[in-house]
Amino acid sequence: MYNTAMPYYETPSPPSDIFVSGHFREQYGYAVQRSHGSGNWLITYTLEGEGRYRLYGETISARPGDIILLKPGTPHDYSVPLDGLWDFFWAHFQPRIDWFSWWNLPELQPGLFKAALRTSHSQERAYQAFLQLHTDSNASLLEQAHQTASAHALLRRELALNRLEELLLLTTLETEQERQHLLDPRVQQVLDIISKNLNARHTVATLAQEVALSPSRLAHLFKQEVGDSLINTLVGLRLMHAARLLTFTSDSIATIADETGFHSAFYFSRQFQQHFGMSPRAYRTTQKQHS
């Protein structure tokens, strides 16, 4: 529930001409309020949990795979719900002019756009794009402090914009495809159940029971709608979440395996190796070198 009793504090806006990004993992009590918005665009990409946006009397939720865009001048009022957690990437930016020729995302409220990446492949690609965007935009800001490195800072900024362009192109493409083909509501319900509780012992049978279908009918329908099997999709989503935990936490590999629904560390490591081409330990080392 959105907490209207939370005290109001006007949050400073970053300068409109800089490209700045971050990765936050916040709990209840986190809130940003800017009555006049900011002088640039704001994008957020939710990895885990839920964020709540309030605009013109409406509350809009951001859940895993959701991308929210706020136009310059649109009021900012977003927070973490009671007893909640919100793990998300964010960036303030000025778009390239040519982006508007293809940029076509659903506008839920004046100045607020929302789209969703539903497949594990798209979510993983968006995650990697935002991770690199964050690395390059931060490096650009650091290098701007050194006059001799101004050319490097500009190149880093362009690299970050390239990653953001990739993310927005991917989102626009998925949105157009979704407009042409909406998922069967039972398949969408299964995806929502999985995303909200990745470490549960989901099976085709238990999920089929949730949507009042036989296991064989659900398996066929899911493959038809999503393009991949239910189990492959579940494993892919779990592995993406595991990759995030390896990058942003110091949890042991055994703990991460358990938190992401792999109740055998050996099986988790084998699946991770097949998916990412390296062991969980090697992946964590690689991500630390790039951060």
In angstroms, the Cα distances linking 265 to 103, 201, 242, 268, 284 are 42, 15, 12, 5, 16
The pLDDT of 15-38, averaged and rounded, is 91
Task: Tell whether the model's pLDDT for residue 97 goes beyond 80.
Answer: no
Tokens 């395996």, residue?
257
| Res 130: pLDDT | 94
Of 49-63, 130-144, 225-239, least confident by mean pLDDT is 130-144
- 148 band by pLDDT with thresholds 50, 70 and 90: very low
Higher pLDDT, 100 or 248: 248
Beta carbons within 8 Å of 230's beta carbon, 6+ residues apart: 190, 204, 207, 218, 219, 222, 223
In angstroms, the Cα distances linking 21 to 31, 124, 132, 134, 286 are 17, 18, 11, 6, 21
Task: Tell whether the model's pLDDT for residue 245 goes beyond 60.
Answer: yes
Region of residue 33 (phi > 0: left; psi between -120 and 50: alpha; otherwise: beta): beta
* Predicted model pTM: 0.66
Do the beta carbons of residue 282 and residue 289 sit within 8 Å? no
Residue 181 burial (10 A CB sphere; 0-12, 13-18, 19+): exposed
Distance (Å, whole) CA 247 – CA 131: 10
Structure tokens of 288?
């630390």
Task: Tell whether the model's pLDDT for residue 128 goes beyond 70.
Answer: yes
Do the beta carbons of residue 137 and residue 157 sit within 8 Å? yes
Task: Tell whether the model's pLDDT for residue 180 goes beyond 80.
Answer: no
| Res 70: pLDDT | 96
Task: Tell whether the model's pLDDT for residue 43 goes beyond 80.
Answer: yes
Beta carbons within 8 Å of 188's beta carbon, 6+ residues apart: none
Average pLDDT value over all residues in the chain: 87
Task: Tell whether the model's pLDDT for residue 4 goes beyond 60.
Answer: no
Higher pLDDT, 151 or 220: 220
Distance (Å, whole) CA 107 – CA 201: 37
- 195 band by pLDDT with thresholds 50, 70 and 90: confident
The pLDDT of 276-291, averaged and rounded, is 79
Do the beta carbons of residue 232 and residue 202 sit within 8 Å? no
| Res 15: pLDDT | 81
Greatest pairwise CA separation for the chain in angstroms:
66
Higher pLDDT, 93 or 120: 93
Distance (Å, whole) CA 112 – CA 53: 9
Q: What values do phi and psi take at 20, rounded to 5?
A: -130, 145
| Res 1: pLDDT | 46
Q: Map out the domains of the chain with their CATH numbers.
A: 20-180 (2.60.120.280), 185-290 (1.10.10.60)
Higher pLDDT, 240 or 6: 240
The pLDDT of 180-206, averaged and rounded, is 87
Distance (Å, whole) CA 238 – CA 46: 15
Task: Tell whether the model's pLDDT for residue 71 goes beyond 70.
Answer: yes
What is the β-pairing status of strands 41-49 and 51-55?
unpaired
Distance (Å, whole) CA 83 – CA 29: 9
Task: Tell whether the model's pLDDT for residue 290 goes beyond 50.
Answer: yes
Q: Would you give the distance in Å from CA 85 to the centre of its chain? A: 14
